[in-house]
Structure 1
């Protein structure tokens, strides 16, 4: 039952994002080309090492899914859609899920990462610096080295006790900044 609930939550989030991408593309409204950003505001603890350059910035909206484990809520997985920061229509261009992994719905490229530094924030999930562990493809996520999760809102596990195999999706939003080696 636990696996079925997790799959249903993830499948629903991914289906909504994919449907939105397909609708906007078939309507001739593909995501607009974006110029490379030059700067994001991040805490000093989440600074990307020298030798890397900012290549893209996305807004993310989704859920942090928690499952009941030994009477406490534990993070199971995120499920979010990403859109270009300056796209007012918020057309999805990438999906974020367990791994963590980000996959472009535009070009199929992907990046997996692991948390390098967490910066706690009161009342919301922490901001993060993640180091890429693998990339795939030649598109937007090719050669990504670091990812920052910034401007987080929501996504905190419930403060209430849980029982059995309960699961809950808690809405969150964030800004994700992606970096590649400077050339």
Structure 2
């Protein structure tokens, strides 16, 4: 009798242990897929000889101001014409698990890691990313300020865009100087030399 009771307890404990292992396997984090540039426009692809060093999701806002339209290169100024002008971004940079790893702000556009290292960059190319979204962007990083994860970053791509374009509301002489904040989200992919 003692042996059969003991055998049942062991059998139940084994079954419960197996259930716990199966439950844990079902909720175990999945390995992330490797980042691919294949579907991106050629203009914003990072050149060969670089590898992805960090992937972040920027969530924040962009400020626009109603201003007199700037003269286009080689064209005369157009007094009295107004437009929504980009003022600057302000966003939190999260890793793929949602943990904050830095911030993005400007001007000038600055990516700052939680470890204090930061970089600015020079725009190389943009490409359309869909109606209502900021364009894709490729920038060449300037030398980093401070040691940390931003050290040796060569390029930054802005991809997976949602929102961020200038407000649809009218910008005219009566609203000159008015500022509007637009929400946006974008992935910022940081590259280093391979």
Kept in 2: contact 1:100–1:114 (CA 8 A):
no
Contact 2:143 2:151 survives alignment (8 Å): no
TM-score in terms of structure 1 length: 0.73
How far apart are 1:159 and its partner, in Å?
A: 2.1
Give the Cα–Cα distance (whole angstroms) in 2 for the partners of residues 142 and 134 of structure 1. 7
Aligned partner (choices 44, 49, 67) of residue 65 of structure 2? 67
- Shift in Å, 1:36: 9.8
Q: Which runs of 5+ in 1 are unaligned?
A: 1-34
Aligned residues: 144
Distance in structure 2 (CA, Å) of the matches to 1:79 and 1:57: 18
Partner Cα distance (2:51, 2:33) in 1: 10
Pairwise CA distance, 1:160: 2.1
Shift of 1:40: 3.2
Q: Residue 81 of structure 1: which of 87, 92, 105 is its match?
A: 92
**Residue of structure 2 equivalent to 1:11:** none
1:128 correspondence with 2:140: no
The 8 Å contact of residues 37 and 54 in structure 1, kept in 2 or not, is answered as: no
Greater gyration radius: 2
Change (3 A) 1:181 1:37: farther
Q: Is 1:151 matched with 2:147?
A: no
Distance in 2 (CA, whole Å) between partners of 1:36 and 1:95 is 23
Q: TM-score, normalised by structure 2?
A: 0.69
CA drift at 1:164:
2.1
- CA RMSD, 1 decimal: 1.8
Alignment partners' CA distance in 1, 2:34 and 2:116: 24
How far off its partner does 1:120 sit?
Answer: 1.4
